[in-house]
Amino acid sequence: MSRFSQRFSGHVAVITGASAGIGRATARLLGENGVRLVLNARRLDRLAEVAEPLGATAVDGDITDPAVRARVVEACRGRCDILVNNAGYGEPGPVEVVSEEDARRQFEVNLFAPAFLAQAVLPLMRKQRSGHIIQVSSVAGRLGYPLFGWYCATKHALEGLSDALRIEVSPWDIHVVLIEPGPVRTEFFEVTKAKVSPQMTQKASPYVRYFDAVDDIERDFMKQATTPEKIAQVIVKACAARRPRSRYAVTAMAKATVAVSKFLPRRLLDWVCRRQFRIPRAAEVD
């Protein structure tokens, strides 16, 4: 018997972004503890590889689509104890050059989809008078990082929404928890680099020097990265807790960032970010 099997007896969990990384690791760990799983991701072939060994229900499709969310809720068959809103991505680029379409898409995936999926399962949780809504945020939900301004904005918004929701649903013993990882060994950086704004890489771009440092920044971050399994362990621990914390910072980098953001002056934090992201000095740009 796994550690939390008795605690999770009869429970149903929905996990988005379940075909890889944190979502896949969380699905496997909850499945080992006897949870009935409803898993979502866009690509059915990759999702099936995760779902079939676990006996999970696979609901493929873009979670920003209301019809897909309706299929997810239908697959719950009248019960939902855990919602893990994990699907998300980052599109890098200075705030000035990311297109309106791309910025809105990040908000659709990272904010509106988890918010509306929470809306959809909350009637089930209220009827049960229990539930855990796990929002996979980021340390970027605490601070704004250059080159990831729009991504940071989505995570800041998700955290504000979750804080309000947590208070609103507390009378029904429903818990809303934010998971704030630092770097994780997933496909995140591969996806983000593939989505770099073309305007950022053009020689005439005022931000071309920023792009030159991207590979070095990635290497520095990945030296401090943890595994998806470590994040999944924290998620499952939060799901099992009768009184979970509102936020779980995961990885040493995330914990350090949260700590220094409370005590360092904003001017000093900005200086640290400029150094970390190789932001050029005034004399080095046109």
**Separation of alpha carbons 51 and 63, rounded Å:** 17
CB 19 within 8 A of CB 86: no
Q: What is the chain's length? A: 286
Per annotation, catalytic residue among 151, 207, 210, 248: 151
Q: What angle do CA 215, 218, 222 make, to 5 degrees?
A: 140
Torsional class of 176: left (φ above 0), alpha (ψ -120 to 50), beta (otherwise): beta
Torsion sign, CA atoms 175, 180, 181, 183? positive
Tokens of 16: 């988005």
Could you tell me if residue 201 is left (phi over 0), alpha (psi between -120 and 50 degrees) or otherwise beta? alpha
Q: Rounded distance, CA 124 to CA 76, Å?
A: 9
Residue 151 annotated as catalytic = yes
**Residue in 136, 134, 50 with CA at minimum distance from that of residue 86:** 136
Residue 259 CA to residue 236 CA, distance in Å, equals: 24
φ and ψ at residue 202, rounded to 5 degrees: -70, 140
Q: Using DSSP bridges, classify how beta strands 174-181 and 57-60 pair: parallel, antiparallel or unpaired.
A: unpaired
Q: By the 8 A CB rule, do 81 and 12 touch? A: yes
Distance of CA 48 to the CA centre of its chain: 21
Q: Report H helices in 33-143.
A: 44-54, 66-75, 100-107, 113-128
Q: Give the residue numbers annotated as catalytic, written as ranges.
A: 151
